[in-house]
Amino acid sequence: MKRIALFSVTLLLLTGVIPAFAAQPIKIGALFAITGPASFLGEPERNTAQMVVDEINKKGGIKGRKVEFIAYDTQGDATKAKQLVNKLIKNDKVSAIVGPSTTGETMAILDDVEKAGIPLISCAAGSKITDPVKKFVFKTAQNDSLAVAKIYEYLKKKNMTRVAILTVSDGFGSSGREQLKAQVANYGIQIVVDDTYAPKDTDMTSQLTKIRGSQAQAVICWGTNPGPAVIAKNAKQLGLKLPLFMSHGVSSKKFIELAGDAAEGIILPSGKVLVADLLSKNDKQKQSLISFVKDYQSHFKAEGDHFGGHAWDAVMLLKHAIGRRGEAPAAIAAELEKTRNFAGIGGTFTFSPQDHAGLTKDAFVLVEIKNKDWVLVK
């Protein structure tokens, strides 16, 4: 009887008629700033990625194989990210990696993933992550070049030709500053003040005082929390009447919480998820965006946001690539490159050998903060 039972189990294994997840799991790694100053990015990314993986496994995994999700907290530190990416590659032997949360961390690990041949889908926005194209590196956060274009288009429409820029001195801020300077000629805009602040600065009054004394018609701040919230408060304290624009690096309710009343009237480019319910019924992303927001709310009692959307897109892109070609890292990268018209949370992605960012400026909308909430800027 024992032999018959053993034979039956063996037959089930061979024929595939077996309860789910008999095969070895597919390992996907992740690096997120779950704690630390950039936790407003990393926590929703980790939460969303885990939520999506759980849903994939609940529905039978990828071709009957469970996804094992291995996430580490970088605390937003580039050195930690470099240590942990090697742990994922050498110890955990993952097939692909999602994250990191910030541009600086991502730039620090590019050589590691390229050398190991492990596909990385970053959740950070810096254009340099995928420009120039690297064989194994992709991203889901909208490029800062597209965010700059969205702001400059609006300024041109409003006949604002003189701007002051105030950028944080880290990877994200440096990349944004490059784009802000590179694109001015395309829109007939002049930068009359070009200033910076450090990530840990707690008062930017001196920079804003210089801007107040300039000919600037608008101020563009490029950074991630908490700096931009400090700038908003300082601007209000100084009675600065110039329109204040922020980057997509603060497109979450966390910024409104940090800035308080000083957030009122600030305009920034964002993925559509923040205003999903305000989109036209003809918008192709609307239903998937609303579904994501509801799922996140159900799981975590908070609104699904722009940053969690980056992780949703990354995990789903990997799911489709692995489902088509299997878990071999080179095959995943090759299949990601063939992605066409994937309707995600951050936009509709089309990758190619020449483009590993995959989005156009249509992935962005301009939003304004009114009464501690978001409204669409027409």
Domains, the chain, ordered by start:
8-142+289-359 (3.40.50.2300), 145-277+364-376 (3.40.50.2300)
Least-confidence region, from 31-40, 175-184, 300-309 = 300-309
With a pLDDT cut of 90, the percent of the chain lying above it is: 88
Question: Dihedral, CA atoms, 336, 341, 343, 345, nearest 10 degrees?
Answer: 60
Confidence of residue 4 (pLDDT cuts 50, 70, 90): very low
SS3 36: coil
Reported as a single tens digit per residue, the pLDDT across 190-216 is 999 999 999 999 999 999 999 999 999
Q: What is the pLDDT of residue 144?
A: 92
Map tokens 């970088």 to a residue: 74
Q: What is the mean pLDDT of the chain?
A: 93
The stretch 282-304 carries a mean pLDDT of 91
The C-alpha atoms of residue 14 and residue 268 are separated, in whole angstroms, by 56
pLDDT digits (tens, 9 = 90+) for 212-239: 999 999 999 999 999 999 999 999 999 9
Q: How many CB atoms lie within 10 A of CB 196?
A: 18
pLDDT of residue 284: 83
Helix (H/G/I), strand (E/B), else coil: 268: strand
Nearest to 248 by CA among 163, 347, 158: 347
The pLDDT assigned to 288 comes to 87
Selection from 270, 252, 31 nearest residue 146 by Cα: 270
pLDDT in tens, 143-200: 999 999 999 999 999 999 999 999 999 989 999 999 999 999 999 999 999 999 999 9
- What is the structure's pLDDT at 22? 64
Q: What is the pLDDT of residue 14?
A: 46
Q: Which amino acid is at 309?
A: G
Distance between CA 231 and CA 233 in Å, rounded?
5
pLDDT in tens, 71-119: 999 999 999 999 999 999 999 999 999 999 999 999 999 999 999 999 9
Q: How far is residue 257 from each of residues 40, 166, 251, 276, 303, measured CA to CA in Å? A: 11, 21, 12, 20, 13
Q: Residue 65: beta bridge partners?
A: 62
